């Protein structure tokens, strides 16, 4: 049986819609994960303090997650088709290779998206620290000159000013150029490529178990379960890389926090000062984010909104 050619525009639309729906559902947990990974010392602070800042960074995430998820999911389907030789079934190595290609493509959007999202999500932590010290805190971009922080205080706490993602982007482009938005690119590659290499083959094999026969469609609930299991497994596997990436991309440094000079320096300082357990900070929250995110994303992706909008197939919510 020959494999049907895919419509790349339709897959891109499916991925974008799926990403928007999924991220909207799980964003609050993602915010808590970022705060935990940037937290020094004790792993868990007062969760109620985090609730205040749940909307922070949501606009950036929702804006940039559309092309990010579109690229990730569509690229995997594209590479799977290109690696196939007229047969539907790929071997595990080919599935891993397709996932690797998808991971490499997505970092074009993932790195600046994560860079801006982390600054906005991390704002609440700096505000909490600054309430204890009624002095001016300077935020450093690595070892360079000071730049605007998402939220800073001069003198009394009442004079806290918010800075938008657009202002952060403009300041990064002015001081660092385009490479400022791609700070932590190496760590992002180390996270996203292994994640896709683990996730996509695992999802494909678990999802296939939901078929009662070769010609049957997989029920939508089984695709959701498959996305949750595969996403959770891949998320935990690459959690150390996610911690390193978050630390490298966080520009909001208080007086007692380290700055890092590249990937190796970051790993060395975390290991020396906080121990191996620090690399698993936020792993539980990350699993809680990724599991339902990819469960929802896969269900929405398979509904076929893109094919419907392009007039290729009739829209059928129950076809998945």
Is the pLDDT at 139 greater than 60? The verdict is no
Q: Looking at residue 253, what is its pLDDT? A: 64
Q: Looking at residue 151, what is its pLDDT? A: 41
Residue 11: which residues within 8 A CB-CB, separation 6 or more?
70, 73, 74, 77, 78, 306
Q: Looking at residue 100, what is its pLDDT? A: 96
Is the pLDDT at 105 greater than 80? The verdict is yes
Q: Looking at residue 252, what is its pLDDT? A: 64
Q: Looking at residue 132, what is its pLDDT? A: 53
Q: Looking at residue 320, what is its pLDDT? A: 47
Is the pLDDT at 52 greater than 80? The verdict is no
Q: Check residues 90 and 162 and name the one with the higher pLDDT.
A: 90
Q: Can you tell me the mean pLDDT for 139-146?
A: 45
Q: Can you tell me the mean pLDDT for 138-154?
A: 43
- A 10 A CB-CB count for 175 gives 14
Query: Strand, coil or helix: what is 99?
Result: helix
Q: Can you tell me the mean pLDDT for 4-23?
A: 85
* pLDDT tens-digit readout, 160-190: 456 677 888 888 888 888 888 888 888 889 8
Determine which of 27-31, 182-186, 220-224, 243-247 has the lowest per-residue pLDDT on average: 27-31
Determine which of 74-83, 85-94, 311-320 has the lowest per-residue pLDDT on average: 311-320
Residue 9: in which H helix or E strand, if any?
Answer: helix 8-38
HSE value, Cβ hemisphere, 13 Å, CA-based, for 220: 13
* pLDDT tens-digit readout, 271-318: 999 999 999 887 887 888 889 989 999 999 988 888 888 877 765 554
The whole-angstrom distance between residue 239's C-alpha and the CA centroid of its chain comes to 11
Q: Looking at residue 254, what is its pLDDT? A: 64
Is the pLDDT at 47 greater than 50? The verdict is no
Which of 127-141, 171-185, 224-238, 241-255 has maximum average pLDDT? 224-238
Q: Looking at residue 94, what is its pLDDT? A: 93
Is the pLDDT at 97 greater than 60? The verdict is yes
Is the pLDDT at 203 greater than 90? The verdict is yes
- A 10 A CB-CB count for 133 gives 12
Q: Check residues 189 and 37 and name the one with the higher pLDDT.
A: 189
Q: Looking at residue 88, what is its pLDDT? A: 60
Q: Can you tell me the mean pLDDT for 204-218?
A: 86
Domain assignments of the chain as residue spans, ordered by start: 8-310
Q: Give, in words, the CATH class of 8-310.
A: mainly alpha
Q: Looking at residue 281, what is its pLDDT? A: 85
Q: Check residues 101 and 248 and name the one with the higher pLDDT.
A: 101
Q: What rounded mean pLDDT belongs to the chain? A: 77
Q: What band does 35 get if pLDDT is binned at 50, 70 and 90?
A: low
Q: Three-class SS string for the chain?
A: CCCCCCCHHHHHHHHHHHHHHHHHHHHHHHHHHHHHHHCCCCCCCCHHHHHCCCCCCHHHHHHHHHHHHHHHHHHHHHHHHHHCCCCCCCCHHHHHHHHHHHHHHHHHHHHHHHHHHHHHHCHHHHHHHHHHCCCCCCCECCCCCECCCCEEECCCHHHEEECCHHHHHHHHHHHHHHHHCCCCHHHHHHHHHHHHHHHHHHHHHHHHCCCCCCCCCCCHHHHHHHHHHHHHHHHHHCHHHHHHHHHHHCCCCCCCCCCCCCHHHHHHHHHHHHCHHHHHCCHHHHHHHHHHHHHHHHHHHHHCHHHHHCCCCCCCHHHC
Q: Can you tell me the mean pLDDT for 185-210?
A: 92
Q: Looking at residue 98, what is its pLDDT? A: 95
């Amino acid at each position: 049986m020959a494999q049907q050619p895919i419509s790349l525009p339709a897959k891109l639309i499916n991925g974008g819609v799926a990403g928007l729906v999924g991220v909207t559902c799980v964003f609050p947990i993602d915010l808590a994960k970022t705060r935990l990974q940037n937290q020094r010392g004790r792993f868990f602070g007062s969760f109620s303090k985090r609730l205040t800042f749940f909307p922070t960074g949501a606009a950036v995430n929702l804006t940039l997650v559309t092309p990010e998820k579109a690229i990730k999911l569509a690229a995997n389907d594209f590479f799977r088709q290109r690696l196939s030789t007229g047969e539907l079934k790929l071997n595990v190595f080919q599935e891993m290779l397709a996932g690797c290609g998808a991971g490499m493509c997505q970092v074009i959007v993932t790195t600046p998206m994560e860079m801006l999202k982390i600054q906005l999500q991390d704002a609440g932590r700096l505000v909490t620290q600054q309430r204890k010290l009624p002095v001016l805190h300077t935020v450093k971009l690595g070892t360079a000159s000071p730049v605007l922080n998402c939220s800073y205080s001069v003198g009394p706490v009442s004079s806290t000013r918010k800075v938008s993602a657009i202002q952060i982007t403009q300041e990064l482009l002015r001081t660092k150029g385009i490479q400022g938005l791609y700070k932590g690119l190496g760590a992002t590659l180390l996270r996203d490529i292994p994640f896709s290499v683990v996730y996509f083959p695992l999802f494909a094999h678990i999802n296939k178990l939901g078929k009662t026969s070769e010609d049957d469609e997989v029920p939508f609930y089984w695709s959701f379960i498959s996305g949750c299991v595969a996403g959770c497994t891949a998320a935990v596997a690459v959690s150390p890389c996610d911690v390193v990436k978050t630390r490298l991309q966080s520009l909001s440094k208080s007086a007692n926090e380290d700055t890092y000079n590249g990937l190796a320096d970051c790993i060395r300082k975390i290991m020396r000062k906080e121990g191996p357990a620090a690399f698993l900070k936020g792993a539980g929250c990350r699993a809680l984010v990724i599991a339902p995110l990819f469960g929802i994303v896969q269900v929405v992706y398979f509904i076929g909104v893109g094919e419907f909008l392009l007039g290729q197939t009739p829209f059928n919510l129950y076809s998945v």
